[in-house]
Chains A and B, each alone.
Chain A
């Protein structure tokens, strides 16, 4: 597709269950980012991928959160034993990575709205 896609668009789950969120970046974009948008915290960076590796996982809020990326393309964000405070919109973004300059435009997906009951 032309843009970043995410699935599902909405996910309602019970506290304690595991969830998987998927991101399909723009073809050819080597950099992939996960962010979380919540009422209390605003937009927060979670994790960054360069290719299939994640040099920076510092934004992940706890060890219940993990993410992987395969084939330099699709990424999944997994939240284990979900808690109510995990309720938020999870956004994925991708960009080219310029080895000389940086500051590349990030293209955002529509997000997955997660509600933990």
Chain B
């Protein structure tokens, strides 16, 4: 079984400050890793994903995440946030492998609140 832990339920930050949203996972099998974002009153959108290769993954809107296998982490970072980044961010995993069903196991989410 897989599980995802997002340690921070809420992260307040000032505009133009850097931010890191933490994600740790547990799994007995290899997994793919994802970050999804949910803007207020909108649906979930994929921010970035790690399948293989370089452990530093760049996504949309200036976000990036680094896969650390030894620490089983996939923290999300942005060097300078904007008001428009205010949203809820979900870390997720799915089982690895061709033809795998790919259902996502989500963390509880982190609400990022960017203040002027």
Residues of chain A at the chain B interface (Cβ within 8 Å): 4, 31, 33, 35, 42-45, 48, 50, 55-56, 59, 91, 93, 95, 97-106, 108-111
Q: Is B108 an interface residue (CB 8 A)?
A: yes
- The residue of chain A having its C-beta at the shortest distance from the C-beta of B6 within the complex is A42
A105 touches B98 (CB 8 A): no
Contact of B98 among A35, A43, A102 (CB under 8 A): A102
A105 touches B49 (CB 8 A): yes
Q: A56-B101, A103-B102 are in contact. Are A43 and B49 (CB under 8 A)?
A: no
Contact of A106 among B46, B96, B100, B107 (CB under 8 A): B46
Closest Cβ of chain A: how far from B39's Cβ, in Å?
12
Closest Cβ of chain A: how far from B38's Cβ, in Å?
9
Which residues of B are found within 8 Å of A33, using beta-carbon distances? 102-104
Closest Cβ of chain B: how far from A48's Cβ, in Å?
5
A42 touches B97 (CB 8 A): no
